[in-house]
Amino acid sequence: MSRVCELSGKGPMSGNTVSHAKNRNRRRFLPNLNVVTLISEALGQSYSLRISSAALRTVDHRGGFDAFLVKAKDDELSPKALKIKKELAKAQASA
């Protein structure tokens, strides 16, 4: 399981750990990933996704899981989230 957010595409970054004596050692900065169950109101179903805490705040800010997926770019979403977005588009088109 890769350490990549399924909604925002945020992944590990690399940088330096800098000591007080300015010694630099390479390190990885990992995203703060959490397994969260999000509910789609339009589909009437819940989905378990591994997303970053920043993406979770963005979901709340945009007004829910459905509103987030409508505005999200396809290249940032994981295949699982992209499948949910397509199902959502079908449900909204038929309604």
Whether the per-residue pLDDT at 1 is higher than 80: the answer is no
Residue 86 located in a structural domain: yes
* C-beta neighbour count of 4 within 10 angstroms: 16
Residue 6 located in a structural domain: no
What predicted TM-score, i.e. pTM, was given to this entire model?
Answer: 0.87
Q: What CATH number is given to the structural domain containing 21? A: 2.30.170.40
Q: Is 77 helix (H, G, I), strand (E, B) or coil?
A: coil
Question: What confidence tens digit (pLDDT) does each residue in 47-83 have?
Answer: 999 999 999 999 999 999 999 999 999 999 999 999 9
Instruction: Give residue 66's domain range.
Output: 13-94
Residue 22 located in a structural domain: yes
In the chain, the number of structural domains is: 1
What span, in angstroms and rounded, lies between the C-alpha atoms of 6 and 59? Answer: 12
Question: What confidence tens digit (pLDDT) does each residue in 15-44 have?
Answer: 999 999 999 999 999 999 999 999 999 999
